[in-house]
Amino acid sequence: MKNRLQAALWGAFYGDAYALGAHWLYDTQQISKSAFDAKQFNDPLSDYHPGKSAGDFTHYGDQMLWLLDAIAHDENFSIQTFSTTWRANMREYTGYVDGASKHTLQELSTGKNSLGCGSSSHDLSVVGRMMPLIYAYHNDMDKMMEYVKLHTVFTHMTKELVESAAYFNELIMAVSMGADIARSIEDIALAYSEPLQKWVAQGVTKVETHEPIEAIKALGQSCSVEGGFAAVIYLLARFSDFQEAMEANVLSGGDSAARGMLVGTVLGASGGMEVLPFNYNAMSNANEISKYIEMIDAKNT
Q: Per residue in 97-125, pLDDT tens?
A: 999 999 999 999 999 999 999 999 999 99
Please, are residues 138 and 170 in contact by the beta-carbon 8 Å criterion?
no
Of the pLDDT bands very low, low, confident and very high (cuts 50, 70, 90), residue 296 is very high
Cα(193)–Cα(135) distance, integer angstroms: 26
- Give the global pTM: 0.97
> Given a cut of 80, is residue 201 above it in pLDDT?
yes
Task: Give the CATH number, domain containing residue 124.
Answer: 1.10.4080.10
Residue 251: what pLDDT?
A: 94
> Given a cut of 90, is residue 70 above it in pLDDT?
yes
In angstroms, the Cα distances linking 22 to 34, 127, 223 are: 9, 20, 14
> Given a cut of 90, is residue 135 above it in pLDDT?
yes
Measured over the CA atoms of residue 298, residue 72, residue 153 and residue 60, the dihedral's sign is negative
DSSP secondary structure code for residue 160 in this structure: H
Residues whose CB falls within 8 Å of the CB of residue 245, separated by 6 or more in sequence, listed in order: 235, 236, 238, 239, 263, 264, 267
Give CA 81 to chain center in angstroms: 22
Looking at residues 41-66, what average pLDDT do you find? 96
Residue 37: what pLDDT?
A: 84
Q: Is residue 38 part of a domain?
A: no
Q: Is residue 47 part of a domain?
A: no
Of 26, 42, 164, 156, nearest in space to 100 by CA: 156
Of 250, 253, 257, nearest in space to 58 by CA: 257
Q: Per residue in 150-175, pLDDT tens?
A: 999 999 999 999 999 999 999 999 99
For 138, the domain range is 2-31+56-300
Q: Is residue 51 part of a domain?
A: no
Quote the mean pLDDT of the chain.
Answer: 96
Percent of the chain with pLDDT over 70: 100
> Given a cut of 90, is residue 35 above it in pLDDT?
no
Which residues, in sequence order, are bridge partners of residue 15? none
Give CA 117 to chain center in angstroms: 21
Please, are residues 81 and 74 in contact by the beta-carbon 8 Å criterion?
yes
What is 44-91 written as a DSSP string?
A: -SSSSSTT--TT---HHHHHHHHHHHHHHHSSS--HHHHHHHHHHHHH
> Given a cut of 80, is residue 54 above it in pLDDT?
yes
Q: Is residue 43 part of a domain?
A: no
> Given a cut of 80, is residue 1 above it in pLDDT?
no
Number of domains making up the chain: 1
> Given a cut of 90, is residue 134 above it in pLDDT?
yes
What torsion do the CA atoms of 123, 157, 103, 65 make, to the nearest 10 degrees? -60
> Given a cut of 80, is residue 38 above it in pLDDT?
no
Q: Is residue 48 part of a domain?
A: no
What is the separation, in whole angstroms, between the first and last Cα of the chain? 15
Residues whose CB falls within 8 Å of the CB of residue 177, separated by 6 or more in sequence, listed in order: 1
Cα(287)–Cα(82) distance, integer angstroms: 22
Q: Is residue 45 part of a domain?
A: no
Q: Per residue in 240-285, pLDDT tens?
A: 999 999 999 999 999 999 999 999 999 999 999 999 999 999 999 9
Burial 138-155 (b: 16+ CB within 10 A, else e): beeeeebbebbbbbbbbb
> Given a cut of 90, is residue 39 above it in pLDDT?
no
Cα(145)–Cα(22) distance, integer angstroms: 32
Residue 10: what pLDDT?
A: 98
Residue 195: what pLDDT?
A: 97
Which residues, in sequence order, are bridge partners of residue 4? none
> Given a cut of 80, is residue 87 above it in pLDDT?
yes
Residue 237: what pLDDT?
A: 98
Q: Is residue 168 part of a domain?
A: yes
Cα(216)–Cα(19) distance, integer angstroms: 15
Q: Per residue in 173-184, pLDDT tens?
A: 999 999 999 999
Q: Is residue 214 part of a domain?
A: yes
In angstroms, the Cα distances linking 110 to 97, 118, 157, 187 are: 19, 13, 17, 43
As a whole number of Å, the CA-based R_g of the chain is: 18
